C-alpha cells in the first residue's frame, strides 16, 4: 500500500495502556492532545508520513506525461489529478504534524532515504497507457486501503482520509476511461494498453505488501485500529474486483494461474516476485534513483524561495511593528 511494511512498536505498559485500548475498542477517536502510548505515536508518524511521501513522490511518474497528454482535456484531467496528489500529501503531512513532528523534518527524512515511500512509484511510465494503468490499478489498489482507513482510530488521520477519499473518487475512473479508449482504439493502442497491464499488474499486487498473517507488527497495528485489514485480504479483494474489469477491456491479466474458484467465489492468482519487491524497497527499483533525485533537486532548488519569502515576511512584520511604535 502507500504505507508498506510499517514497523509497529509497543513499549508501554500499565493502566494507561489498558484504558487507551478500551477507548480504541469502543470505537472512540484518539485526538492529538489525548494520552497515547509512545509506540502508537511512533508507528502512526511512520505510517502517515510514508503515505504522505508516497503522494508526493507519486506525482512524478504521472507528472512525467502531463506535457505529453494527447488532448487538451486529458492534459487538464491529468494535471488536476497530479495536483490532487500534492494536496493529499499536504493533508497527510498535516495529520502527521499533529503528532509532534515538523513537515520539514519528515521531508528531509524522505530525501536522505531514512523514510520510505510506496514501491509502486519506482516503476517507470513509458507510454500513455501507463497513465491509464496507474489510475485504474494503482489508484484502485490505494482505494482498497484508504476507504477503511477513514475509520482509523486516530482522528486527524481519519479526517484526512475522508477528504482524500472524496477527492480521489474520480482518479480510478479517469484511468479506466483512458484504458477503455485505448482498448477500443487502434492495434497500436491495444498493444500499448496490454503492455501497460503486463508491466503494472504485479507491481500493483505488491502494493499491499507481503503476507502479514504471521506479522506481530500487523497484529499490533490492527489492535490499535491504524491498520484495518490484512494485506492478503485487501489483495484478494483487489484481484476479485480488477479481473472482470480487465476482461471487459479485452485485456489479459499476465498470470497463467489465474482462475475463478467457483466454490469460494474468489480468484486464485500467482504471487508477485517478492524478491523484486524487496529490491525495490532497498533502492534497486527501476526509478528509485530518479525519483529521489527529482525530489532532492526540487527541495534544494527551492531553498532560496522558501528562505526569501520567509525573509520578506519577517521584514514586513518588523516594519509593521516599527510603524506601530512610531504611531504611539
Paired with 260 in beta bridges are: 267
Q: Please, which residue, 89 or 209, has the CB nearer to other proteins?
A: 89
Residues 48-77 that bind other proteins (CB under 8 A): 56, 59-60, 63, 66-76
Residues 1-20 that bind other proteins (CB under 8 A): 15-16, 19-20
- Closest contact distance (angstroms) between CB of 171 and other proteins is 15
CA-wise closest residue to 152 among 67, 107, 71, 95: 95
Q: Is 308 in the site for other proteins (CB under 8 A)?
A: yes
Helices (H) and strands (E) in the chain, counts: 13, 2
3-state secondary structure labels for all residues of 289-302 = HHHHHHHHHHHHHH
Q: Please, which residue, 35 or 248, has the CB nearer to other proteins?
A: 35
Q: Please, which residue, 186 or 275, has the CB nearer to other proteins?
A: 186
d(CA 126, CA 154): 38
| Per-residue interface string for the shown chain with other proteins, residues 145-184, x marking contact by CB under 8 A | ----------xx--xx-xx--xx----------x--xx--
Q: Is 315 in the site for other proteins (CB under 8 A)?
A: yes
**Which listed residue (108, 268, 271, 293) binds other proteins by CB under 8 A?**
108
Sign, CA dihedral 74-76-78-80, equals negative
**Which listed residue (39, 42, 94, 198) binds other proteins by CB under 8 A?**
94
Q: Please, which residue, 7 or 29, has the CB nearer to other proteins?
A: 29
- Point out which span in 31-39, 194-202, 241-249, 273-281 binds other proteins (CB under 8 A): 31-39
Could you please report the per-residue DSSP string of 116-135? ---GGGGS---SHHHHHHII
d(CA 205, CA 197): 12
Q: Please, which residue, 178 or 246, has the CB nearer to other proteins?
A: 178
- Closest contact distance (angstroms) between CB of 207 and other proteins is 20
C-alpha cell at 115: 523514510
- Closest contact distance (angstroms) between CB of 6 and other proteins is 20
**Which listed residue (191, 213, 264, 311) binds other proteins by CB under 8 A?**
311
CA-wise closest residue to 24 among 34, 9, 11: 34
Owner of C-alpha cell 501497460? 196
Q: Please, which residue, 38 or 260, has the CB nearer to other proteins?
A: 38
Q: Please, which residue, 57 or 205, has the CB nearer to other proteins?
A: 57
Provide the CA 139 distance to its chain's centre, in angstroms.
9
- Closest contact distance (angstroms) between CB of 232 and other proteins is 31
Q: Is 25 in the site for other proteins (CB under 8 A)?
A: no
Residues 203-262 that bind other proteins (CB under 8 A): none
- Closest contact distance (angstroms) between CB of 141 and other proteins is 21
Q: Is 309 in the site for other proteins (CB under 8 A)?
A: yes
> What is the b/e burial string over 33-53, where b = at least 16 CB atoms within 10 angstroms of the residue's CB?
eeebbebbbbbbbbbbbbbbb
Cβ neighbours, 10 Å, residue 24: 18
Q: Is 318 in the site for other proteins (CB under 8 A)?
A: no
Cβ neighbours, 10 Å, residue 256: 8
Between vectors from CA 231 to CA 229 and to CA 235, what angle results, nearest 5°?
A: 105
- Strand 267-268 and strand 259-260: pairing? antiparallel
- Closest contact distance (angstroms) between CB of 181 and other proteins is 6
Amino acid at each position: 500500500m502507500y504505507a508498506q511494511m510499517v514497523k509497529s512498536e509497543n513499549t508501554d505498559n500499565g493502566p494507561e495502556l489498558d484504558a487507551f485500548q478500551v477507548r480504541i475498542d469502543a470505537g472512540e477517536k484518539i485526538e492529538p492532545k489525548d494520552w497515547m502510548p509512545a509506540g502508537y505515536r511512533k508507528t502512526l508518524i511512520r505510517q502517515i508520513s510514508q503515505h504522505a511521501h508516497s503522494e508526493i513522490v507519486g506525482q512524478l511518474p504521472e507528472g512525467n506525461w502531463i506535457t505529453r497528454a494527447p488532448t487538451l482535456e486529458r492534459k487538464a484531467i491529468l494535471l488536476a489529478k497530479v495536483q490532487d496528489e500534492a494536496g493529499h500529501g499536504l493533508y497527510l503531512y498535516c495529520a502527521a504534524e499533529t503528532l509532534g513532528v515538523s513537515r520539514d523534518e519528515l521531508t528531509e527524512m524522505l530525501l536522505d532515504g531514512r523514510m520510505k515511500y510506496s514501491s509502486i512509484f519506482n516503476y517507470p511510465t513509458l507510454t500513455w497507457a501507463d497513465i491509464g494503468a496507474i489510475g485504474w490499478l494503482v489508484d484502485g489498489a490505494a482505494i482498497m486501503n484508504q476507504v477503511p482507513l477513514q475509520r482509523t482510530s486516530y482522528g486527524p488521520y481519519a479526517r484526512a482520509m475522508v477528504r482524500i477519499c472524496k477527492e480521489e473518487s474520480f482518479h480510478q475512473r479517469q484511468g479506466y476511461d483512458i484504458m477503455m479508449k485505448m482498448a477500443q482504439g487502434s492495434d497500436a493502442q491495444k498493444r500499448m494498453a496490454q503492455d501497460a497491464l503486463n508491466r503494472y499488474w504485479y507491481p500493483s499486487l505488491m502494493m499491499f505488501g507481503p503476507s502479514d498473517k504471521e506479522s506481530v507488527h500487523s497484529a499490533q497495528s490492527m489492535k490499535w485500529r491504524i491498520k484495518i485489514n490484512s494485506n492478503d485480504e485487501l489483495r484478494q479483494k483487489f484481484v476479485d474486483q480488477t479481473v472482470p474489469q480487465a476482461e471487459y477491456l479485452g485485456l489479459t491479466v499476465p498470470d497463467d494461474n489465474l482462475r475463478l474458484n467457483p466454490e469460494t467465489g474468489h480468484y486464485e492468482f500467482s504471487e508477485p516476485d517478492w524478491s523484486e519487491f524487496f529490491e525495490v524497497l532497498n533502492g534497486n527499483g527501476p526509478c528509485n534513483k530518479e525519483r529521489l533525485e527529482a525530489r532532492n533537486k526540487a527541495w534544494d532548488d527551492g531553498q532560496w524561495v522558501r528562505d526569501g519569502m520567509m525573509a520578506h515576511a519577517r521584514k514586513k512584520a518588523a516594519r509593521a511593528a516599527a510603524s506601530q511604535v512610531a504611531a504611539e
